[in-house]
């Protein structure tokens, strides 16, 4: 089942007004694999990630050209319903951003906006998602308390559970551990390992170690360009380009 192509971008350019933030990025993502996007701050990796679920549509002066295909369908095609796209391509943000609602409602929200009304199935899906996000045991007795009372790591797992509840096919993670302590980070990484069995995961990270630990493939971005991409082991041990090696070994960035 490995090596099945799930998503890819072809000659993707992205502009914020006049400034070009991404230059001709072509990248493939295999199903049930974790791809890490690394690079120094401002290199475009987050911008790239946000192109994949058209989150950048929210920026009024932005412009995209090139193609992004999800199951061979161009997601920037005018006929594509962006709401449907975002249901298929879920996202976890850099800072945990639970809604100021209860733990239960945080997850039920996505189900409800996706048209699920039946209370029994909502309850079932909430439990499943919390289990998948390895949070169930910690919160099962206080599902109806505010999500804001959880710790940062728990909040982030709640956000992952919330994303999983709507059963996306691809999961985008934008530095999901940058605001977390090492223990919470470890939990999230274990979770990513578990989740890649059923989801295609694309993760932006600032931590080389994290990229090395969780990903199958690594893509190195610099100044809005994709510099190098390959198997994580190869990229980290025998990078083809000097620039990649310098970054990975900490000589710049």
Partner 1 sequence: MIINRRTVEKLVRKFFFCTAAASVAILFMIMVFLFMEGLPILGKVSIKEFIFGQYWYPTSDPPDFGIFPLILASVSVMAVSSLISVPLGVMTAVYLAELASRKVGEIVKPMVELLAALPSVVIGFFGMVVVAPFLQETFNLATGLNLFNAALMLAFMSVPTICSLSEDAIYSVPTALKEASLALGATHWETIWRVVIPASLSGISTAVILGMSRAIGETMVVLMVAGGAAMIPASLFDPVRPMPASIAAEMAEAPFRGDHYYALFATGIVLFLFTLMFNIIADHIAYRYKQVGDSTL
Q: Of 98, 176, 224, 239, which one interacts with partner 1 (CB under 8 A)?
A: 98
Tokens encoding 223: 């100044």
Contact set for partner 1, span 50-69 (CB under 8 A): 53, 55, 58, 60
d(CA 138, CA 249): 38
Stretch that binds partner 1, among 109-117, 127-135, 200-208, 213-221 (CB under 8 A): 109-117
Tokens encoding 18: 């006049």
The count of chain residues that interact with partner 1, using the rule CB under 8 A, is: 31
d(CA 185, CA 219): 21
CA R_g for the chain: 18
**Is 93 among the residues that bind partner 1 (CB under 8 A)?**
yes
Binding mask 178-217 for partner 1 (x = CB under 8 A): -x--------------------------------------
d(CA 92, CA 96): 8
**Residue 224 main-chain phi, psi, to 5 deg:** 80, 5
Binding mask 146-175 for partner 1 (x = CB under 8 A): --x---x--x---x--xx--x---------
Closer Cβ to partner 1, 10 or 87, answer by number: 87
d(CA 110, CA 92): 13
Closer Cβ to partner 1, 54 or 217, answer by number: 54
Which residue is associated with the tokens 């956000």? 159
Exposed, middle or buried: residue 151 (CB in 10 Å: 0-12, 13-18, 19+)? middle
Interface with partner 1 (CB under 8 A) = 53, 55, 58, 60, 83-84, 86-87, 90-91, 93, 95-101, 109-110, 112-114, 148, 152, 155, 159, 162-163, 166, 179
């Amino acid at each position: 089942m490995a090596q099945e192509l799930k998503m890819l971008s072809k000659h993707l350019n992205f502009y914020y007004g006049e400034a070009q933030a991404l230059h001709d990025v072509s990248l493939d993502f295999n199903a049930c694999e974790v791809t890490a996007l690394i690079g120094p701050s401002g290199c475009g990796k987050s911008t790239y990630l946000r192109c994949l679920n058209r989150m950048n549509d929210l920026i009024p002066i932005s412009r995209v050209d090139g193609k992004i295909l999800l199951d061979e369908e161009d997601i920037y095609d005018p006929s594509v319903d962006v709401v449907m796209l975002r249901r298929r391509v879920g996202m976890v943000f850099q800072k945990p951003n639970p809604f100021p609602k209860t733990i239960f409602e945080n997850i039920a929200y996505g189900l409800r906006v996706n048209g699920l009304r039946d209370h029994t199935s909502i309850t079932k899906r909430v439990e499943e998602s919390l289990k998948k996000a390895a949070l169930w045991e910690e919160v099962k007795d206080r599902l109806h308390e505010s999500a804001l009372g959880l710790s940062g790591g728990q909040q982030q797992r709640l956000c992952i559970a919330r994303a999983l509840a709507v059963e996306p096919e691809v999961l985008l993670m934008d530095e999901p551990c940058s605001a977390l302590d090492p223990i919470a980070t470890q939990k999230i990484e274990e979770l990513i390992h578990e989740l890649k069995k059923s989801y295609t995961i694309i993760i932006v990270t600032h931590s080389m170690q994290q990229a090395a630990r969780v990903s199958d493939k690594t893509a190195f971005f610099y100044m809005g360009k994709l510099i190098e991409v390959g198997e994580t082991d190869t990229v980290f041990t025998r990078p083809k380009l000097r620039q990649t090696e310098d970054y990975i070994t900490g000589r710049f960035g």
